[in-house]
Amino acid sequence: MAGIAQSNLNVERTNEQALVAVGLWLALSGVALAQQKPAKDQIVGAWTLVSVTSEMDDGKQAEPFGASPKGVIIFANDGHFSLFQSRAEIPKVAANDRAKATPEEAQSIVASSIAYYGTYAIDENTKVMSVNLAASTYANVAAIPNQKRTITLLTPDELKFDNPRTPNGMTLKTTWKRAAAP
C-alpha cells in the first residue's frame, strides 16, 4: 500500500514538473514571439531625442546639437515620418519676426536645428531603413533620394540608428526613447 502511495506521489510530482515546464515554455515562447514583431511595427509612434553624435572618417567625434539636444521623430504606420532636432537653446530673433532675423541670428538658428519629413520603409532582414524626404529646412539633404539609416537597436523603449553618410561626410549616431503618453 505504501509503495502504491509513493508511486502515485512520484507521478503527481512528475505531472507538476511537466506542467511547470510547459508553462515556462509557453511564457518564453510568448516573449520570443513578441520580440519577433517586425521592426516596421515596433517603430511606429513618437520618440524623443536623447543624443546625437557625429563621427568623421578621421575618428573625430562631436555633438552637433549639444549635450542635451531636443527633438522628436514620429513614425506613422502608413510609412510617413517627421523629424525635428535642435540644440537645447535656440537663439531668439530680436525683431520678434522670423522674417526679420539678422544674418547672424539666422545663421545660428540654421546651425542649431533641422527638420524634415517624408516616407520610410524598413528592410526586415538587414534592419536598414530607407527614407525619402519630401521637404527639409536643409534643402540639400531633401534632394538626396533613398537615404539609408541603419537600425542598431530597437526595443519597446529605445531606438538607435546611424545615418552612415551625411552630405558633409560624417556618420550621425542618434539615440531616441519612446515618448511618454500625454
Q: Whose CA is closest to 179, among 150, 163, 159? A: 159
Q: pTM for the complete prediction?
A: 0.77
Residue 45 β-bridge partners:
75
Q: Please write the tens of the pLDDT for every residue from 83-118.
A: 999 999 998 999 999 999 999 999 999 999 999 999
- Residues 94, 3: Cα–Cα separation, whole Å: 94
Which residue is listed with cell 547672424?
104
The model's confidence at residue 169, banded by pLDDT at 50, 70 and 90, is confident
The answer to whether the beta carbons of residues 146 and 139 sit under 8 Å apart is no
Give SS3 for 123. strand
Q: Please write the tens of the pLDDT for every residue from 113-153.
A: 999 999 999 999 999 999 999 999 999 989 999 999 999 99
Phi–psi pair at 113, nearest 5 degrees? -155, 160
The answer to whether the beta carbons of residues 51 and 77 sit under 8 Å apart is no
